[in-house]
A and B are shown apart, each in its own frame.
Chain A
Amino acid sequence: MTTNALPQPVNRLITEFARLPGIGPKSAARLTFYLLRGGDEQALDLAQALQDLKERTQFCSVCFNITEEDPCQICADDGRNPNLLCVVEEPLDLLAIERSRAFNGRYHVLHGAISPVEGIGPEDLKITELIERVKNGHFTEIILATNPTLEGESTALYLTRRLKEFDVKLTGLARGLSVGGDLEYTDEITLGRALEGRREM
């Protein structure tokens, strides 16, 4: 979609957009021309938002969620149950569970899942940090809320083996979520039910 007929800054933005997941060359060009035609303010706001995204966020040193302050709001909230831990793959999964309002404990974000296909092993995830946290914490139950995918289930299985030496109840989300789906896309009601109906691993 980039061509010599267009000024270099236009080509450059098209190329950058096209690198984003789910955006093809045509959508990239459409977004670029939309911004070009719009007011200066809109484009500058977007530029500022992108800069803040990287400069003003970090990983929470406790749960590895994305946060502005460390520790994050959830980890700092005394009103939440400190004995209940929910392990998720991505920050977006945490968000989906928060939206369901069915959980009032703490989280741990792994930042991915074990994948033989992609060559992602346990050491590429925040698993050592999880083990340390469980060792030093007072958790009575850990919910392994990984995706119902091949990778998510491999991860849950691995964590079950690693965590069984600790005196803590391990549970997983209730079945009924289709194999291959993403928690991120599960509606609040279904996800709430899956949490309430959780089963022992």
Chain B
Amino acid sequence: MAKERTFRSEAIVLKRTDFGEADRLLTLYTREKGKIKAIAKGARKPQSRKTGHVELFMRSNMFFAQGRDLAIITQAEMVDGYAALRGDLVRTTYAAYAVELLDRFTVEEDRHVGIYNLLADALGWLAETDDLMLAARYYELRLLSQTGFQPQLFKCVACGEPVQEQDQFFSAELGGLLCPACWEMDREAVEVTAVAVKVLRYLQTRKWETVRILQLKRPLQHQLERIMHHYLTYILERSLKSVDFLRRLREEAALFAPEE
């Protein structure tokens, strides 16, 4: 199939590396073509017209010319810069986590508008929410559903019995909950309290507008984070840079508390 020589798409900047003299090589998630790499010529020059529109996490309307190996961005105009993600290192780290996770779960040139919309929404949630942990968990569950890794939270993945309202186990290997009778099916399975099961199901089935008003206690937040990272690390077969960074950041948490 012949490729058209030019195309346009809305795109979000996932990664950027310096390239050539003053150019940048960007990894983009585009609405029309999924993940692609593209060159932004002159993007390191602050005077270049493109520069302010192709920075990390920005959502822009872009025009491309298809080069032999890589697409070249000929024009870019920002749609949403998610400005709040920039002045706050904790928010920046969560945004970095969102794009790193998406990058790891996707391959190039595989169009998936659902994933595109999810990322665009998620960056918006992370820019405005007061509960970054909740937004991150919600995003993880949505992304897992979109990429075919939706965890089974309603019946035991071993015996198939509906999950009762009691403490359970979560098996990353089997991709869902194990009931107390079956927990030995996966020795690596982690414990999940009954209330955590409830919250995970709620997140998996509800809209963000409904979820965002939840007020979860810290220990529960940490339990949910542990379960999700356990599952994600298993699927991706290694941990994520931004997760390690977040851990280091928490040790310095006092420095990053919002100014009163």
Contacts and interface: CB of A to CB of B under 8 A. Distances in A.
A161 B89 CA distance: 12
A161 B255 contact: yes
Interface stretch (A6-14, A68-76, A112-120, A128-136): A112-120
Interface string B8-30: 00000001001111100000000
Interface residues of A, number: 30
B148 interface: no
B198 to A, nearest CB: 31
A179 B51 contact: yes
Interface majority SS on A: helix, strand, loop or mixed? loop
Interface string B101-140: 0000000000000000000000000000000000000000
Q: Which of A117, A161, A177 has the most CB of B within 10 A?
A: A117
A185 B86 contact: no
B178 interface: no
Given A21-B18, A149-B55, A119 B241 contact: yes
A183 B20 CA distance: 16
Contact of B92 (A116, A178, A181, A187): A116
A177 B48 CA distance: 10
Given A22-B18, A153-B87, A185 B45 contact: yes
Contacts of A162: 255
Contacts, number: 95
Given A116-B92, A177-B46, A150 B57 contact: yes
A105 interface: no
A178 B52 contact: yes
A180 interface: yes
B255 A178 contact: no
A141 interface: no
Interface of A: 21-22, 114, 116-119, 121-122, 148-150, 153-154, 157-158, 161-162, 177-187, 190
27 contacts: A22-B19, A22-B21, A114-B89, A116-B96, A117-B96, A117-B100, A119-B241, A121-B245, A121-B248, A153-B87, A154-B86, A157-B87, A162-B255, A178-B51, A179-B51, A179-B52, A179-B81, A180-B51, A181-B48, A182-B46, A183-B46, A184-B44, A185-B22, A185-B45, A186-B45, A186-B46, A190-B46
